Amino acid sequence: MAITRVHHVGLVNGDLDHARHILVEGFGLAVDEHRTPLPGGRQGYDGTTILEFPIGELFYEVAKPNDSESEPAKYLASTNGRGGMYYISLASNDMKADIKGIVDRGGKLQGDWDGAGSVFIDPTTSLGLRVQITPEDNYFVHPYFKGNGTCTGLAHIGIAARSPEESRQFWGHVLGLQEDKTEERGKDGPDPKRAPSAADDPVHLLEFPLGGTVI
């Protein structure tokens, strides 16, 4: 059993045309028109309309709420209409074993699980994050929808947390991911041996590699 990779990143945005302009014209991605045909996209979860933008081994799923009462709509309103990352979906090649392990190690599920499909972890046990576990489907996008090559993959997903102990408890213990401890930095302040970078804010960084991406 294993959580194998980031399956997709769910974004919420109030204007799909604007999102498409930013991700296609700005970042060189393309809409997967096989799965989400233009111009209207396709129906998504909780009454949303979605477009998918492949990036490396995963994709961005951009959802536009079609009402004002759903949870995605409330999230959009909470960001003053700017939107942003709504959830992370992680692929599992053995859902039953992985879900059992997550629950046995202190995680809880949000709502009832059908025993086979996707399920969210209760945010009260996932540091307040919306984290979905979904069956591994060996997602492969046709090269036509891979964009112009400006951005070829998702290097990492940066998540702010209250403490390294909480992060290790959730990502390492509850989800069972392996931490790359050689990349831990900032625990004792900036490392004088490392060249300055955008990540040299006064933070303590932990890394959990997952497929071709790092959490």
Q: Where are the domains of the chain?
A: 3-145, 164-214
Architecture of domain 3-145: Roll (3.10)
Pairing state of beta strands 48-55 and 119-120?
A: unpaired
Point out which residues pair with 174 in neighbouring strands: none
| Residue count (the chain) | 215
Average pLDDT by stretches of 10, the chain with 215 residues: 93 97 97 95 97 97 97 97 97 97 97 96 96 95 93 95 95 97 84 62 91 96
In this prediction, residue 167 carries a pLDDT of 96
**Dihedral through CA 114, CA 115, CA 119, CA 124, nearest 10?**
100
